[in-house]
Structures are given as C-alpha cells and as structure tokens.
Structure 1
C-alpha cells in the first residue's frame, strides 16, 4: 500500500468511504488550516490565511498609481476583518487634508510657503473657538487619518500611490492630543503585499513623518520615539511561529520579509481597535513607544513630495523622524498618539 502523507487527502478518502460523513473536502481543509494556525500561534490576534474577498477593487484613481482595494478576511475564529483597515476615505464628513505635493491632482508646490499661500481658510477645522492656529505638515507612506482631541481634522488625499504630502490646519487650545491612523496599503488584499521588484508578493514598508507649527511658525511638535504606536494588522506571515507578544508589544521582528511569487497561503494577524482610541482621555500608557526610522530606510530622498520640503521635515533645530511600530515592513495598520503640552 502507498502511504498517504497528505492529511487533507486522507481525511477526504475516509469521508468518502463513510456513509454518514457530511463534511466536504473543502471543509476538511479549512478545519485543518484552522487547527494548524491555533497550534503554532499563541498570541491575542485573530488569524486569517490566504487572500481576502475584495469588496471594492479600487477606492481611488490616480495616473500611474496603484489600485487601492478594500477587502474582508475571515479569521479562523470566525471573525471578519476589513483589510488593510477600516478607513474614512469615502466618508464626506471626514475632511481631506490640503495638498502640499500631489502628483495625482497635479497640485505640486515647490515650497511650504507657496502651499500655505494658496489656502483660503476654508480648510481650517475649529476645535476650540478661541484656540491657536496649528499647521501640520505630513508625509505618510501610505495613508493617514488625523484626529485632534477626538475630532477629525484631515485625511490623506491618496490612499496608496503616487507618493504625496499634506497640510492640515486646525484651531485648538493646549494641551491637545494628536491621534492618527496609519495604513500601509496592499495590492494583494488580505496579504499585506504588492507586485514589486519582479515579484508578485512584495511586503512594502510604511512610515509617517509629521511637523506641527504654532501661529508664529514655531515648531511645537515633531514625530519621534516619544509618540505611542500600536499595531493592529500584520501581514504577510509565512510561519505563524515567528510572531510573539511581550506585554503590549506585538512583535514580528524574526519573521521573513522576503519577496515571493506565491504568497496565497500566507497568514495575517488582526487585532481589534479600541472604540475610543482617538479621544483625549484614552489611556495609551500601556502602548509601546514608536520606533524611529531613517530617511533611507523609508526611501524618500528621491521623492519631491518630501525633498521639496526638507526645510520643514528635516529642520536643523527640530528634525522630525519617521515613525511606525516595531516592524515597518510587516505591520500594515498602526495607531499613533501624542500629547502636545
């Protein structure tokens, strides 16, 4: 007799020979996958495997830009997750940020002063009537949504590519809390990857940098390791055993980030976002501090949406740092927070 090494095939053959067997081969494979995932992963996330079901093929059209799909992944515990994240890009009540440099709209300013001069004041979100005008300059790879004291003040104009940068203006009294949702978009829905460098499944990197100025033009806050950052979606993972947790740290630093031409069986980890994470009174004391990344790691020194504004982003006296969670490649949805005193 030839030994059968494929467990799914063996169970399917047994199923066929039993009169009362009601499970299909598809169900057997799903159950086997779920059991395997549970056995090798001991963290707090829900686990999904394989591509998501694409709900929207592309939420934004841009010349020479990548498609930005929205999908849903069903985890082994039965929970359903929106990937790469549940965002407000199509919500008309959430204001868009103003363009600093945007190849998609052809609004491409040569300096921050030129971009500011083009604004007429209708972009300003009033949080406190007697508040001070604050101007934020943001470069996000790929997408951000910003809240101040829980109030939406600006979202990225481009969810994926081409690479752009933004201005967000609001009036608020100090102290105030900045909360941002950051998303590294994916072309392969539910698999945290894109076609790149000749490979179908390339895990792209994230990264966000922000500079906040007061009404006098003085820098009052920049992104750095003093911000809090927590990850809520990690993919792609070839092997679930590489993921671990240490307190509130959700770690994937030992996981492979190599490109692949077949990532359809890879895993993803999903954590539920707190309902009030945007608010000023949310307790983020247990969240990890943000990790800092150099310009060359993020790859911005050849992008005019960044290099046109190095006097702001790389200011000699207050140089902002790119921040993310502990894994800028595999972590795809990250929430960050910071209090400006």
Structure 2
C-alpha cells in the first residue's frame, strides 16, 4: 500500500474536475437563431424564419461544462439572396437584424454570458451589395445592386477550440436603432446584456457569433 499511495496522490493532485452547470438562456433575435454550447446545439428558434414578422423570445435550460463557448447563428429574414423582403409589393424593403441574449446559472441566477461587443461575429451573408436594390421594380438576385456576398460557414465554427481571433467584434446598438418587438419586453434583461449585430443592421443578414462564459 505504501508503494502505490504516492502515485495516487500525484494523480489526484493533477485531476481537473469539470464544472457541469445547469444554465438558462434567454434569447431574442430578429428574426431567427440557433445556439450551441461547447459545440452541442442547445436551442433553436421555435418560430420558422419563413414566418412573416417572426419576432419572439426563447427561454431554455440546458447543462454545459464551464467555462463554455457559446456559439449563435443569427439570421434576419430575407425573401431570397437579394436580401429584400416583401418583393414586388409596396412594402418592398431591406430588413434589419438585431439580437440580445443572456445566460444565467439556473439555480443562482448568476449571469455567466451575455451578448455584447466582446463577442466575435462573422458575417456570412450580406445583401444587397447596394441599397438601391430596394428601389428596383424587378430586383433579380445575383445581378447588379442586388448581388450578395456569401462566405462559407466553417464546418467546426461551434467547437470550443475553433480559432475566432480573426473575426471582428460585435457592435452594440441602441433600442432605437433595432426597434425590438414581440417577446423582447417579456424578459428582464440584465444591464450587461446588449442589443448587438455587425456594424450594419440592414445589409448584413446572417451572422455567426461566439463568446466564452465565465467559469
């Protein structure tokens, strides 16, 4: 027994116990999102992005090991790759995005992650390339002002080890700029949680964002 005890003590002193916690996420996105924790999907917006005026907030509880990497794909509605909505009607226009979320310890209520300018966000769909597309009587995707810029989605972008250091930071926006609608007011947002997007609420339609929780 004396021979093995030192080995046991050395092994024990080097063990790192994962802090598995039950977390509650509260999310509002104009218009649709899916969220991952450490590469595993934990929430998907229950209202299809194809639903007109799909404004809603989502709340979900899940378990994750902390510190965790939270990844969220956020999409503003677009009818096609022109980036427009209500095409062919008097309401034809470019939509605008926006999102806010907070993640709390489900038991204590402690905030462990929020949306703010510390997030890294990559724009993977931008359209139209010129705002004059919204004034065209017959906007055609991929042509002229109505062309789009599409970036391939990295296959492992939700993984904790993914290197997002080259991605730009998110940009915080005011309530006045985003005009958050249905569901937003039903959540009591912590002061640290901010409405965010890229620097362009209108032409940037799909974002991939990542942030690490506290321990």
Aligned to 1:186: 78
Q: TM-score, normalised by structure 1?
A: 0.52
Gaps of 5+ in 2: 1-16
Candidates 305, 329, 333, aligned match of 2:202:
329
Aligned to 1:92: none
Aligned to 2:5: none
User: How far does the alpha carbon of each residue in 1:189-226 deviate from its partner, in whole angstroms, 9 at most, with x for none?
Assistant: 11111128x64531100111001111201222211000
User: How far does the alpha carbon of each residue in 1:117-150 deviate from its partner, in whole angstroms, 9 at most, with x for none?
Assistant: xxxxxxxxxxx99711110100011110111000
Is residue 30–residue 97 contact of structure 2 (8 Å, CA) maintained in 1? yes
Is residue 226–residue 290 contact of structure 1 (8 Å, CA) maintained in 2? yes
Aligned to 1:237: 129
User: How many angstroms apart in 2 are the aligned matches of 1:145 and 1:213?
Assistant: 18
Aligned to 1:221: 113
Q: Across the two proteins, how many residue pairs are aligned to each other?
A: 188
Where relative contact order (Cα < 8 A, 6+ residues apart) is larger, the structure is 2
SS in 2 for 1:136: strand
Across the aligned residues of Structure 1 and Structure 2, the Cα RMSD in angstroms comes to 2.1
Q: TM-score, normalised by structure 2?
A: 0.80
User: How many angstroms apart in 2 are the aligned matches of 1:162 and 1:223?
Assistant: 20
Is residue 229–residue 334 contact of structure 1 (8 Å, CA) maintained in 2? yes
Write out the 4+ residue segments of structure 1 that deviate beyond 2 Å after TM superposition: 159-162, 198-201, 256-259, 261-265
- 1:320 paired to 2:188: no
Q: 1:304 to 1:331 in 2, by over 3 A?
A: closer
Gaps of 5+ in 1: 1-127, 239-255
SS in 2 for 1:297: helix
- 1:340 paired to 2:208: no
Rg bigger for which structure? 1
SS in 2 for 1:237: coil
Shift of 1:257: 6.6
- 1:138 paired to 2:27: yes
Aligned to 2:184: 306
User: How many angstroms apart in 1 are the aligned matches of 2:57 and 2:132?
Assistant: 27
Is residue 203–residue 257 contact of structure 1 (8 Å, CA) maintained in 2? no
- 1:152 paired to 2:44: no
Q: 1:234 to 1:321 in 2, by over 3 A?
A: same
Aligned to 1:288: 168
